[in-house]
A and B are shown apart, each in its own frame.
Chain A
């Protein structure tokens, strides 16, 4: 694993122009990924994580727009690329598996035709023989039988469709794969299968992965680095072990606690309250209204990210005074 970052996001800002004013869906988010690194970006609905995903590919559509920051892909800022250069970069260097990708397959085209489209868009002039060989290889790589190429999407199961989409997305061996909730409609066993396929795919390509989701369990199983988003901000990011066993941000701890386990039946209260509307963010830390450990400073001053351990940053006023997260009871939240 080389030391240089393949994906370096610096102070990214993505804003939605709504009727009631600008909504800051992604708010000065920064992180860097090395090749082979697996980042899991977790957040509730409305945290800005999907916006983050589309922004990485510069696919943000009106009324959203990228309002600031840089996205360096192998050193080159994709936000400054010309449309032609950008088109070449997409899929070849960075690929996106969007949410609901299974339904993004064209229902009236056989899989083969759809895969050929993607490849020819970047490598025109390939012969049929070359294309067929490539397609077989791509399908096998995701654990599908090459005969699947001659089927229509509705003839495939959910898990198979998702893997087909992954095959298309990685057909040009990108350096970065962005997967936005790739298993959201899938059963637990198929989900595991798809995630393990993604892992093998990534390892084979030496690519970095950004996995976007809302299930801390899923992310813990797959990622080596976890980033937590709340109201458009990256509130904590660090190695998975630290994030799961000793998170620093109260929200991270609450997210972990909100998942039921299978050891003992216990009563779970989740995280009371709702995330703030992105148009009218409160002063201070956006999580303060729901935070069981909030104090006055939290409500007036926005915490900036600080490094609390190697590769581990958190944006919370508890640090650096505290060594670790103080214990609390979720029920005491003031929301």
Chain B
């Protein structure tokens, strides 16, 4: 895949895999790595309610301290992070997947199919997503991380649809599409063989944005208390910290770690998104 993108863009690609993209990916990579290895190195049971002495500040046996309900913060962070990332990823994949397919179909086939898709996606874009999500999440009896991911995914596809559709419309005007027609390719073949590879950079860029938005929405919902009650996630941690007045009581080691991790995730996603933009669109490189 990388070879194809390298070839897709003339000139020295190596120079374009600039600092921004590299740092973004490095940050995300580190977090991902810790999320994968971490759970093997730490005992999950320490992150349960009442597992250890509560309200201990960082030090000694508990490098990140413990919260008011007796959870070891380090163990909690190590298990909550992958959970949050997983939800964001699932929501992102579904959102972008659905959005791309709809965008490709709308752009390629036009007519009433396009009209329907466009009207639906445009209307949903104007709707305040968080409000709807709060209503949906609030009406679910037993929330799980999986369901949370689906709920958020349901409103994450529209932007991708619009972007992909616009790009498909542009690509269809290209000469090579007409050449594909005279080469005997069918409309479906043209869509997947000719159009899609050229839409990929936009899909990937859209993916990063969608995952960011999804994670933000998920954390937001969880911080409001609408998340899964028995699973450890970053958002839930913030919720519990808030519920126990951690700020007022000075338990900084309770609310600070999740915030730091969340901030790093977003910085990583942002840098990746900007860096990838430069990669896919060499003309931005000049400025």
Residue ranges of A at the interface with B (Cβ–Cβ < 8 Å):
18-19, 61-62
What does DSSP make chain A's interface, helix, strand, loop or mixed?
Answer: loop
**CB proximity to A under 8 Å, residues B257-276:** none
Min CB distance A20 to B, Å, is 9
What residues of chain A lie closer than 8 Å to B286, measured between beta carbons?
61-62
CA distance A246 to B286 in the complex (A): 46
Q: Within the complex, which residue of A19, A61, A62 is in contact with B12, where a contact is CB–CB below 8 Å?
A: A19
Give the tally of cross-chain contacts (CB within 8 A): 7
CA distance A61 to B11 in the complex (A): 16
What does DSSP make chain B's interface, helix, strand, loop or mixed?
Answer: helix
Residue ranges of B at the interface with A (Cβ–Cβ < 8 Å):
11-12, 14-15, 286
CA distance A19 to B286 in the complex (A): 16
CA distance A205 to B286 in the complex (A): 36
- Which residue of B is nearest A20, CB measured? B12
Min CB distance A300 to B, Å, is 33
CA distance A15 to B15 in the complex (A): 19
Min CB distance B161 to A, Å, is 26
Report, nearest first, the 7 A-B pairs whose CB atoms are least far apart: A19-B12, A19-B11, A62-B286, A19-B15, A61-B286, A18-B12, A19-B14
- Which residue of A is nearest B15, CB measured? A19
What residues of chain A lie closer than 8 Å to B12, measured between beta carbons?
18-19
- Which residue of A is nearest B12, CB measured? A19
Min CB distance B284 to A, Å, is 14
What residues of chain B lie closer than 8 Å to A62, measured between beta carbons?
286
Min CB distance A103 to B, Å, is 15
5 A-B pairs in the complex with CB atoms less than 8 angstroms apart: A18-B12, A19-B12, A19-B14, A19-B15, A62-B286
- Which residue of B is nearest A19, CB measured? B12
What residues of chain B lie closer than 8 Å to A19, measured between beta carbons?
11-12, 14-15
- Which residue of B is nearest A62, CB measured? B286
CA distance A18 to B15 in the complex (A): 11
Min CB distance B279 to A, Å, is 16
Min CB distance A21 to B, Å, is 12
CA distance A19 to B11 in the complex (A): 8
CA distance A18 to B14 in the complex (A): 12
What residues of chain A lie closer than 8 Å to B11, measured between beta carbons?
19
Min CB distance B61 to A, Å, is 55
- Which residue of A is nearest B13, CB measured? A19
